[in-house]
Structures are given as structure tokens and as C-alpha cells.
Amino acid sequence: MRVLEISLIFSVIFLIGGQSTIYALDEPATMRSIDGSLQDYYYLTEERQKLGYDGPPSNYDTGFKLIRVDEMDMENGAYELVFWHWVKINEDDDPTNFVEEKPSFNYVNADHVEIESEHAETHYFEQKIIGHFHGPMDFANFPFEKLTLQIVVEPQKHQDVNKVNFVLDPNSSIDPLATVPGFSLGEFFLEKTEHIHEGIEAEISSQVIASFIVERSNLGSFLTIILPVTMITSLVLLTFYIPGNFTPRIYLSAPLLLALVYLHRSALSEIPAVSYVTMFDKIMVIDYSIFVIAITSLAIQMRYRENNKGNETEKRINRIMFLLVPVVVAIEIGLMWFL
């Protein structure tokens, strides 16, 4: 009996709340793509067609289609995007008319936006945007980093949440022919938030953030950046197999060390100066440590020969230093794992 009473109470609340309550309950705050599309959320499109207008705010289904990334300035965290941006209203009885009054938007993280074309219908408005945007870029995993290119949009001023409510549109996508210079496009996701504008009168605006992931080819990064430094470091290990010949060992070690430093600096020139240690920096610490061990072994043996005569002892020193290499590498990998 108690269960029946609770069910009746919820039924009354449902009838009083109307369809707008269902709308709020069904809307996710984040949509993440799977295999390049938001197909898991397509059911929402059909459900929205059943909704009726229940007074302000107007619900704007907001979507994006990325056409291409024209350029990326990683030094300044800037990028130029070309994309379609649209809004649509599913409630047929909503009095909003985009033909009579075009909606306008504020692209929060853009310093320049150009509208290339636009199209308006009563409850649908779309525009093609070419914009210069800024956003944070994380290079901690360089050269296997994934960068996030964001578009942050909200209604123009004085269109607060009491007038316009953004809703994520699952029809958002990335054009199959979209390109990024030097990178490839991965997944994308949409996120709905609210932005508080501080001032004499605080104003809360509905806001949508579209995030597109771009990444380097793992194989390309390995072949062009990781493999060369690994080969150079491997070559310096050959010095342990010629313990008694100091001149060839010096001639082998010195140029290889210079080449390693050059490749290190050359690789880092692809990204801006950062205050944190990247994955590539950690790899280079290991490579430099191997060089330090090899050159230290050479110096100790030369010093020992100067004061003593004993070829067997030199070989023993060389063998000990060689066995020290994997120990030092293992310790450094362990320490870097927790840093």
C-alpha cells in the first residue's frame, strides 16, 4: 500500500512538471564520441520532437561540424578552425523566430571570428565559421601527445539561462575529409556548462564546449624521434667491447654525444618551452646516463693505466661499468614512473 502511495505521488509530480521535466532528466551534460560519432545519443533527437514549449528559456539544440584545422601555433597555444555551428529549436510552438531575429553568439576563446556563410529558418540557424582560437596545450607525453582544440560558445550578452538554454546536439561530427597539418584527428566530445559573468549584476549564461582531439602518429613519432636517439645510445655501448683501445673509444663517444644533444634540441624545437618534464625528456635522461657511464668507465680505465699496469684489472672495471648500465636505467625508469 505504501508503495502504491509513493507511485501516485510521483505520477502527480510528473503530470505537474510536464514534458520539460523529462527534457531536463534525459539531457546528458557531456557527450563523447565513439568511432567518430555521437551515435549513442541519437535517441535524444527523436525524443525532442515530442516536446512542447513550456515557456522560457528556449532550448537551443547546439551542434558543430569540424571542416578542417588550417594551422596550429603550438608556441602560443593558438589554432585556426573552420567549422559549421548550428542551433535548432524542436518545440514547434516556441515563439522564437530566427528569420526575423538572427541569433548571435560569443566565441569565448576566440580573438577573431569570420562568418563565411549563414542560413536561417524559423527554428533553425547555421553559420560557417573561420576563427582563430586559443586554448591550453599539454605536451607532457611528447612525442606521443594528444592536444585538445576547444570551441567555447555562449549566447551574446543579456541572453542568460532564463532566456536561452543550450542543449547538446548528437548530430555533431567531424567531416571525414577534415585535416590537421602534421597531426591526425581523433575523437571529440561536447560539454554543457554555465558561465557566470561577474559585474554589477551577475549574469549566468548557458555555455557549450566542443573539444576535438588531435594526435601525432605513434609510428611516425617513434621512427623520426625515438628511434634515432635510441640507435645513437646503442652505438655508445660498443665502447665497452673495446676496453684496451682508448683512442677509438674517444673518437666513437664524443661525436655520438654531440649528435645526441643535437637531436634532443632539434626534437624539442617542435614544441614551446614548457616548465615541466616531458616523456621525451625522461627518455633523454636515460640516454645521457648511459653516455655518462660509458665515458666515466673510459676515464677510470685511463687513470688506472696511468698509475698501474694490469690489463685484467682494466677489463674488470670495464665489465663492472657495463653491468651498471641496466641497473642505472632500471632505477631511473622506476623514479620517473612516480614523477
> Domains (ranges, CATH) in the chain?
27-216 (2.70.170.10), 219-337 (1.20.58.390)
Cis peptide before 176, with omega less than 30 degrees from 0?
no
Q: Which residue has the higher pLDDT, 126 or 245?
A: 126
The H or E element containing residue 246 is helix 246-268
Q: What is the pLDDT of residues 103-124, one digit of tens each?
A: 999 999 999 999 999 999 999 9
Answer yes or no: are the C-beta atoms of 246 and 302 closer than 8 Å.
yes
- CA 73 to mean position of chain CA atoms: 15
pLDDT at 237: 83
Residue 12 in grid coordinates = 502527480
Q: Residue 309: pLDDT band by 50, 70, 90 thresholds?
A: low
More confident residue, 266 or 301: 266
Pick the more confident residue, 5 or 202: 202
Separate counts of helices (H) and strands (E) for the chain: 8, 11
Per-residue pLDDT tens over the stretch 29-47: 888 887 777 877 776 766 6
Does the pLDDT at position 302 exceed 60? yes
Using one digit for the tens of pLDDT, what is the confidence trace for 161-182? 788 889 899 899 999 999 888 8
Residues 6+ apart with CB under 8 A from 304: 310, 313, 314, 317
The pLDDT confidence band at residue 299, using thresholds 50, 70 and 90, is confident
Mean pLDDT value of segment 236-265? 82
Task: Please state at what angle helix 246-268 crosses helix 227-236, rounded to 10 degrees.
Answer: 160
- Does a cis peptide bond (omega within 30 degrees of 0) precede residue 28? no
Crossing angle for the helix pair 19-26 and 2-17, to the nearest 10 degrees: 100
Coil, helix or strand at residue 233 = helix
Q: Find out whether 168 and 230 touch, Cβ atoms under 8 Å.
A: no
The β-bridge relationship of strands 124-134 and 78-88 is antiparallel
Question: 51 is written with which cell numbers?
Answer: 516536446
pLDDT of residue 19: 38
Work out the average pLDDT over 197-217: 84
Lowest mean pLDDT among 70-74, 213-217, 322-326: 322-326
d(CA 152, CA 175): 19
- Which pLDDT does position 6 carry in this prediction? 41
Radius of gyration of the chain (CA): 30
* Highest mean pLDDT out of 223-227, 294-298, 322-326: 223-227
Q: Count the neighbouring beta carbons within 10 Å of the beta carbon of residue 20.
A: 17
Position with higher pLDDT, 210 vs 312: 210
Residues 6+ positions from 41 with CB-CB distance below 8 Å: 28, 31, 168, 170
Q: Residue range 12-27: average pLDDT?
A: 41
Q: What is the pLDDT of residue 321?
A: 73
Contact status, residue 318 vs residue 301, Cβ threshold 8 Å: yes
How much is the mean pLDDT over the chain?
81
Shortest CA distance to 149 belongs to which of 177, 180, 171? 180
pLDDT tens column, 45-65: 666 666 666 667 888 899 999
The DSSP line for 317-337 is HHHHHHHHHHHHHHHHHHHHH
pLDDT value of residue 204: 85
Q: In what helix (H) or strand (E) does residue 154 lie, and over which residues does it extend?
A: strand 146-155
pLDDT exceeds cutoff 50 at 325: yes
